[in-house]
Structure 1
Amino acid sequence: MKAINKRNITVLAVIVFLVFLAVERTTKSEPEAVPAIQQSSEPESGMNAGLLAPAFSLQEGGKSYAVGGSRDKAVLLNFWASWCDPCQQEAPTLNALALKYKNVLDVYGINVTSQDYKPNAERFVRKYMLAFPIMYDLKGEVFDKYKGMVFPTNVLVDKNGVISEVILGFLSPEELEKKIITLTGS
């Protein structure tokens, strides 16, 4: 019964998100022209491909992890919850990809603890022996900043700090690896 309820909640969240996107697209008007002196060569920050990834910093285990701006490696941000079946399915893939591409890609696992139970999340990390940094978004502030709506949400950010793609839901290991190869040029 619990699995059916979780699946129904996930399906409902996806439907709500898709309706939101459809309404937003139909109600959006043409952007106003911005005078040339106000335009910047840097993209604005936001949650869409081509925009700078919203900046944040989370601490875990005495170490600080930050996103925002240029960096040495591309980064994959994985927003997850321990009760999420697709998150459980993709955990081994993320682990393998983090190890395989460690020289060109940082993988940051961000447990949205505001929608989870931290002891369960900690058990999840141990169960899947995750080999990449795991942070706990205790109040959901980072997830909100990234306008998160579904689990898992993977955000691919290039070395310049620009979002290359937002992936909602589960991808096959092969599809995800293709996207990482495109992102990193590996």
Structure 2
Amino acid sequence: MMRILNKTPIGSGRRLRLAVSFLLLGAAMQVGAASLTVGDKAPNFEVTTLAGETFKLSDYKGKKPVYLKFWATWCSYCKVEMPHLQSIYNKYGDDVEVLAVNVGINDSVANIQQFFNRGGFNLPTVIDRQGDLTSRYGIVGTPHHVLIDKEGEIAYRTFLATDTLDEMVEEWAEEKQILNRRPWKR
């Protein structure tokens, strides 16, 4: 018995903890929240960003659509997509509120800051340490994108960034820009 334990690979405990974390996250989310679908009212929430700012979803109702991206620093797809999210934030951030939601599993503020510093990212970000927000939105994997229209309803959900997601964000930004234009003075 002792001999088997000595031959166990060093990283296997970490992998086991990670696998168990994923299983528990998936189970908790399956039980904790029915999957929200397009047209459902988005659950309200209030969080504090890593920059210390308060983000309250209800503050944007009737004013501005919201784009939530659930992610993690250890998620390879999330890393690949982060420049895309930064680009959307840079281009449409005045018209569409963007919030990066780190799911908080096997992650830390230090990991997030290091990842952002290396990539030059400056997105409003929260870490969902208890998994409350992740659970309320029925997120079972990362990355996951949720678009909430200005009426506070889920408008689109997707696992990976898609052309449809980009088109909706662009359309919302254009609508807001048209509404903000002043009539020509004669």
Assess same fold via TM > 0.5. Answer: yes
Structure 2 residue aligned with 1:86:
77
Q: Report the secondary structure of 2:99's partner residue.
A: strand
Q: 2:150 aligns with which of 156, 159, 164?
A: 159
* Residue identity (%): 25
Task: Mark the structure with the bigger radius of gyration.
Answer: 2
For 1:149 and 1:175, the matched residues in 2 are separated by 21
Aligned length: 148
Structure 2 residue aligned with 1:62:
52
CA positional deviation for 1:175? 4.6
For 1:75 and 1:52, the matched residues in 2 are separated by 13
Bigger RCO (CA 8 Å, 6+ sep): 2
For 1:141 and 1:115, the matched residues in 2 are separated by 16
In structure 2, relative to structure 1, the CA distance for the partners of 1:47 and 1:185 (3 Å cut) is farther
Q: Does 1:179 align with 2:168?
A: yes
TM-score by length of 2: 0.69
For 2:154 and 2:93, the matched residues in 1 are separated by 19
Gap runs ≥5 in structure 2? 1-10, 176-186
**Aligned-CA RMSD value:** 2.8
For 1:136 and 1:180, the matched residues in 2 are separated by 23
TM-score by length of 1: 0.69
Q: Does 1:51 align with 2:52?
A: no
Q: Report the secondary structure of 2:105's partner residue.
A: helix
Over residues 110-159 of structure 1, what are the superposed CA-to-partner deviations in whole Å (9 max), with x where a residue is unaligned?
11113423321221222222232011111111001111101011100011
For 1:46 and 1:113, the matched residues in 2 are separated by 20
